[in-house]
Structure 1
Amino acid sequence: MSLLHVKEITLAYGKTGLFGLPRRLIPVLSNVSLTIDEGVCLGLLGSSGAGKSTLGKVILGLEKPSHGQIIFQGQDLYNMSASDRKQARRDLQVVFQDCYSSVNPRMTIEQIIGEPLDNYEIRSPSKQKHVIGELLEMVGLKAEDMAKYPNQFSGGQLQRINIARAIALKPKLIVLDESVSSLDMVTQTQILALLNDLKRSFGLSYLFITHNLEAAYFLSDRLAVLDRGELVEMFEEKEQILTSPHPTVQSLLQSVLADHPGNRKVRNVQQFT
């Protein structure tokens, strides 16, 4: 059984017409279906406006679809009991693109990482500090960093803190919504390597939402391509994307340029593995 089954998801927003005319529905997602198995990273690719982040919100339970089901661990996410929904929230975590707005600037790092732990687990203060220190060290920071505030960290360091918070409850699935796109190239590489190491160490599953083919190819086991709200390609083996003739995929491949302007032909994406 799949960990996550996105089943024929359709979402349309209503827009009120002028002079009291009936509302017009604007399609955002159209009949999208995909699955994620345990220990697998699915890279969800697409250009800006393709509906990637909206699908992520639907999967997280933040945006109810017009039609379809999100089946997480065998249960319909939008038709659960309160207790089952609480458990699902524990097992389904997220790391957003904006690492700064994802944290409360008035809270210490100890409070930020400790917040989900407080919601689900009861520990002594000393044990809590020990767990938070271990989490910080797992993501390449120091245990003593827990006393600091968000403004004392770089963007890359703060994203590591967001990742530490996301893995604190040992979730089954983490939605990574453009989680490296706001970082510089060196930091992107470091964070992707960290995510890859954590996936292997803890058997994590990821939905990696991105427009960056290089990043998706590095981290993902399977790839899916979304275009204007429709799932246009699904690759069970990520290498298959390199030979796809689909125009949207070709556009993604063409966006992978050589470093020197004089040599800007499509690079072999395999070099980033």
Structure 2
Amino acid sequence: MSLLEVKDVTHTYGSARSFLPIRRKETQVLSNVSLTVEQGMCMGLIGTSGAGKSTLGKVILGLEKPKKGQVLFQGEDLYTMTAAARRKMRRDLQVVFQDSYSSVNPRLTAEQIIGEPLDNYEKLSVSEQKRTVAQLLEMVGLHAEDMKKRPGQFSGGQLQRISIARSIALKPKMIVLDESVSSLDMVTQTNILHLLQELKNEYSLSYLFITHDIRAAYFISDAMIVMENGRIVETCYDKNDIFTSEQPKVKELVASILPEHPKDRTITGR
């Protein structure tokens, strides 16, 4: 049994076209999307803006019910499971969003932010919880003394580490990373990617790594999927196959990768 199975998911958004009478035009954002993620695998989900990546992420997280299709997590349908099963699913399926500042409460301390899932699922004493939060902070490259700081006292990269610490607090089976490094500078992005890889290897985590950055996806992913206009146009279970794909959108994404050294880069349009 696969950890995550997405089966023929189709989703649409409606928009009002006039006031009286109100007619709604359905815009299809996902069309017959299917994918599988195994335990311990990082699946890179790549596409340009508007490809449907983040909508698919919301569907997989149980935040947006698709019009058609199924999302199975550990063999159970997210949208028909019991309340008890849904509570277990929430523990095992976590998320890290792109904007680390808007995904935390600015009035809470790092201790409270990371401790939130522990409050919901674990019955720890005050001292046990402090010790656990301290360990999580150190695990993501911060310090136990940072637990009393608030979000405004951290850089974007540090705050993203706190979001990652929160996401692994319950030792989940899978984390959805939705453009979680795209807003960071290159050095910080590289450090976060190394951290995610280390955590994946240590805890046998599974990731769905949603991004527009094929270089970042290649670094961390085991397999890669490319989306365009709400459809999957390429699936590479060996990530190296991405460079030999003849699919036009994939070739366009691969061509967008700049060579490492500036002297090897060419400028068009002059």
Structure 1 residue 114 displacement after superposition: 0.3
Partner of 1:222: 223
Partner of 1:40: 41
The alignment of Structure 1 onto Structure 2 pairs a total of residues equal to 266
Scaled by the length of structure 2, the TM-score of the pair is: 0.96
- Opposite residue 205 of structure 2, the aligned amino acid is L
Deviations 1:78-127 (A, max 9, x none): 00111110100000000000000011010011000000000000011000
Partner of 1:251: 252
Structure 1 residue 136 displacement after superposition: 0.3
Please show how residues 112-261 of structure 1 align to structure 2 within 5 Å: 112-258=113-259
Alpha-carbon distance between aligned partners in 1 of 2:110 and 2:76, rounded to the nearest angstrom: 34
Percent of matched pairs sharing the same residue: 64
Alpha-carbon distance between aligned partners in 2 of 1:65 and 1:34, rounded to the nearest angstrom: 15
Alpha-carbon distance between aligned partners in 2 of 1:223 and 1:5, rounded to the nearest angstrom: 15
Partner of 1:98: 99
- Opposite residue 13 of structure 1, the aligned amino acid is Y
Alpha-carbon distance between aligned partners in 2 of 1:22 and 1:133, rounded to the nearest angstrom: 54
Deviations 1:49-99 (A, max 9, x none): 100000000000111100001000010000011111010000000000000
Query: Which of structure 1's runs of 4+ aligned residues deviate more than 3 A?
Result: 259-262
Alpha-carbon distance between aligned partners in 1 of 2:3 and 2:75, rounded to the nearest angstrom: 7
Alpha-carbon distance between aligned partners in 1 of 2:115 and 2:236, rounded to the nearest angstrom: 38
Q: CA 1:125 to 1:21, structure 2 compared with 1: closer, same or farther past 3 Å?
A: closer
Alpha-carbon distance between aligned partners in 1 of 2:241 and 2:11, rounded to the nearest angstrom: 29
Partner of 1:12: 12
Structure 1 residue 246 displacement after superposition: 0.6
- Opposite residue 201 of structure 2, the aligned amino acid is R
- Contiguous gaps of at least 5 residues in structure 2: none
- Opposite residue 205 of structure 1, the aligned amino acid is S
Structure 1 residue 14 displacement after superposition: 1.2
- Opposite residue 138 of structure 1, the aligned amino acid is M
Partner of 2:110: 109
Structure 1 residue 17 displacement after superposition: 2.4
- Contiguous gaps of at least 5 residues in structure 1: 266-273
Partner of 1:269: none
Q: CA 1:22 to 1:134, structure 2 compared with 1: closer, same or farther past 3 Å?
A: same
Scaled by the length of structure 1, the TM-score of the pair is: 0.95
Partner of 1:59: 60
- Opposite residue 151 of structure 2, the aligned amino acid is P
- Opposite residue 190 of structure 1, the aligned amino acid is N
Alpha-carbon distance between aligned partners in 1 of 2:141 and 2:261, rounded to the nearest angstrom: 32
Deviations 1:30-55 (A, max 9, x none): 00000000000000000011000000
